[in-house]
Amino acid sequence: MPDLESRLKGHVEALAADIGERHVGRPQALHAAEAYVAGEFAAIGYEVARQTYVAEGVASSNLEVTRPGGPRGSEIVLAGAHYDTVPGSPGADDNASGVAALIEIARVLRETRCERTVKLVAFVNEEPPFFYWGEMGSRVYARAARARGEDIRVMLSLEMLGCYSDAPGSQAYPPLLGFFYPQAGNFIGFVSNLRSRRALREVVRAFRSASDFPAESLASPAIVPGVSWSDQLSFWRAGYRAVMVTDTAFYRYPHYHRATDTPERLDYPRMARVVEGLAGALRVLAGGDTVW
């Protein structure tokens, strides 16, 4: 696992320290991040498919790699993470951590034989001004997938995976939820809307079969603050089941959307354990035994 920790830290530093804030307001940086992620996928041995569109005059690309399935290859398990940031933040946790995880999951799955097809997608333009109604990269992707009739059984949105704390009171929640969940931010969260609650149970079961890292789950109406605030929203809107995997963002991480969201603030040993568990969970979900 030390090698995994080192690689995760290297990806986060490349994106958040070397490139820095990356969005359409800084197109050179956005394209540098795109080139970095595509280059890492290619170095592992994948062919990278680009879905390019124009947002506010800037060419923007989703990056997709595929591990073809076997007997049930028409069924797709998808994991994705956005590589852009809000203006003013270098985005180490939000969301270089998710992209780093995606790259390392791709490495693990490269030699894995699965019954279902696995797709891993680095999304562009998740952050404002595109979030919710704009030209969000995942929205462009999910709409196209639905138009093609793709059978995406579940989508995992990797959204901030690097902050953990054992300190009492380090975890906050929306109103009332704090009565039912831990007060220390030392777990990884799995969150879905109500329609995806069955998929949520299967994802959490798969993660727990692959890892002993603490995990908590919530199926909730999407109106609860934070529940819909990432790329899973685009897949819900397209009629797919989707689950966000997160360290809970602003409910735990004080540097959310700030200039202080820098690489040295992340907990790479615990992040590595989460990434190992997610890679194992995807192997289980793509194995073909899950009944959706």
Q: What is the pLDDT of residues 158-211, one digit of tens each?
A: 999 999 999 999 999 998 888 899 999 999 999 999 999 999 999 999 999 999
> For residue 292, what pLDDT is reported?
59
Bridge partners, residue 266, by sequence: none
> For residue 159, what pLDDT is reported?
98
Structural domains for the chain: 2-285 (3.40.630.10)
Q: What is the pLDDT of residues 31-63, one digit of tens each?
A: 999 999 999 999 999 999 999 999 999 999 999
Mean pLDDT computed over 105-113:
93
Contacts of 53 (CB under 8 A, 6+ apart): 59, 60, 61, 135, 140
- If you search the block for the tokens 């390019």, which residue do you land on? 52
Closest Cα to residue 152, out of 19, 38, 242? 242
- CA–CA gap between residue 151 and residue 171 (Å, rounded): 36
Q: In sequence order, what DSSP letters do the residues of 161-192 get, joined into one string? A: ------STT----STTGGGTS-SS--SEEEEE
DSSP assignment, residue 265? G
The whole-model pTM stands at: 0.97
> For residue 151, what pLDDT is reported?
98
Contacts of 260 (CB under 8 A, 6+ apart): none
Q: What is the pLDDT of residues 232-270, one digit of tens each?
A: 999 999 999 999 999 999 999 999 999 999 999 999 999
Q: ∠32-36-40 over CA atoms, to 5°? A: 170
